[in-house]
Chain A
């Protein structure tokens, strides 16, 4: 007789009072395939855990975003935010879709050059640009977004030495009515720092003010804040025009658009509350069009959108190590995916679904990672089907920041694969090996021998 599929026994008390902290029932429709490729096959071929990126989804997201802005504004340019995900295959996909590169360190700048991006199409942001980074960027005619006055003076000096004019913008921080206000980067609008920096640039013959840049925050849920920011940058541009008869070539509105992830503590899922890219586009472009830019002299609108373009294009596959019952009766499940590779589990309640069919029975569960560290909690409360050892799960919306902020901690970092438009699977980053790490370590001779 054929044996039946096993499901562990479950009994739950029926309670008719207030909803528990486990909240709404989790969507546990199994995610058995990603872009036509079976999850079980991916894990069998490449191991668990495994990051999986959909090239199709990246391209769809990019095209949707371009359409949202280009139908509302005549001149739009996206620049891929390297820090969000700087896997070369990911960056190259965005570059193929027409995105420039937006980098925030010498390391990222070199990565963009290595990917074949022309220096003139690299936007160099961030507070830590070394003299040699700046020297290179000036020589390559990159767009350097100045963060502080020391950097401004350094650029002036280096450009003079090279005998060239550096193309610069300033990063402007401002009150857009949101909390927290990001005022640590760039020059403040309200207290006049930004205008002072602009005047210093305009008085220098070593720099050309080509743009104005802001980046008002991260995971922004209010499109109106972008409208406020766009008005303020337009006002600065108008003052430059009035005083110097000079037009800035572009307005860079930065990034920060929310993805559909659910922030910890949020009552409703991110898919319900995050504004769409169209709402951000409407707010920004309307503000620019309504401002004082002369007809036919609208500046190029640059967007450094990261998270909203990549989050839903990546999945993290994992497996169940074991189930346990905690002292207070709660079910806990230990996965082979920890916070060392899923950094964003500190911020989000990630959507997690099984990779194989289950019955309708579910259990409130705490999901732990494999690390021998108390902080290794993937989901504090989630309602999941009755997972058994070896069962596979799919963690959704992991494309932003995990593959850049992950840590080599306790375990080695896993492989990343990309599924192309023809459903072919490509390894875009190999498994980290012990040898990779040992190559960087040195043991002094006197420590090489010991007797135990």
Chain B
């Protein structure tokens, strides 16, 4: 799972895609995941990091992260040809 390397992300949650000119806003959790994607962390690593840091269950994280990836794909922020297996 690779995020478009040109994507600009600000600490305040502003996301800009210079390829399409579109702007987005993300919440801190969203930014955290995008940053991990930029560092080329695996999905399993992302799950584990979030599980260690936040008060929730693995099933919830798995479901929500998968949903978030769908949104990123939908917004063309990650390559549609990438598989979810990384």
Contact = CB atoms under 8 A, between A and B. Distances in A.
Given A3-B52, A8-B60, A9-B32, 16 more contacts: A4-B54, A5-B54, A5-B55, A6-B54, A7-B29, A8-B29, A8-B64, A8-B67, A9-B26, A9-B29, A10-B30, A11-B25, A11-B68, A14-B22, A361-B27, A389-B60
Interface in B11-32: 15, 22-30, 32
* Across the A-B interface, the 6 shortest Cβ-Cβ residue pairs: A6-B56, A6-B54, A3-B55, A9-B30, A361-B27, A8-B64
A329 interface: yes
B55 A11 contact: no
Contact of B53 (A3, A9, A11, A323): A3
Contacts of A8: 29, 60, 64, 67-68
B36 to A, nearest CB: 11
Interface range for A = 20 to 34
A11 B60 contact: no
Nearest to B65: A9
Given A5-B54, A13-B75, A359 B25 contact: no
Contacts of B25: 11-12, 14
A110 interface: no
Main secondary structure of the interface of B (DSSP, over half): helix
Interface of A: 3-14, 323, 325, 329, 359, 361, 386, 388-389
Contacts of A12: 24-26
Interface of B: 15, 22-30, 32-34, 50, 52-56, 60, 64-65, 67-68, 70-72, 74-75, 77
Contacts of A5: 54-55
Contact of B64 (A9, A11, A329, A359): A9
A100 to B, nearest CB: 54
A14 B27 contact: no
14 contacts: A3-B53, A3-B54, A3-B55, A6-B60, A9-B29, A9-B68, A10-B29, A10-B30, A10-B68, A11-B72, A12-B24, A12-B25, A14-B25, A389-B60
Contacts of B33: 9
A10 B27 contact: yes
Contact of A11 (B24, B50, B52): B24
A253 to B, nearest CB: 52
A4 B27 CA distance: 15
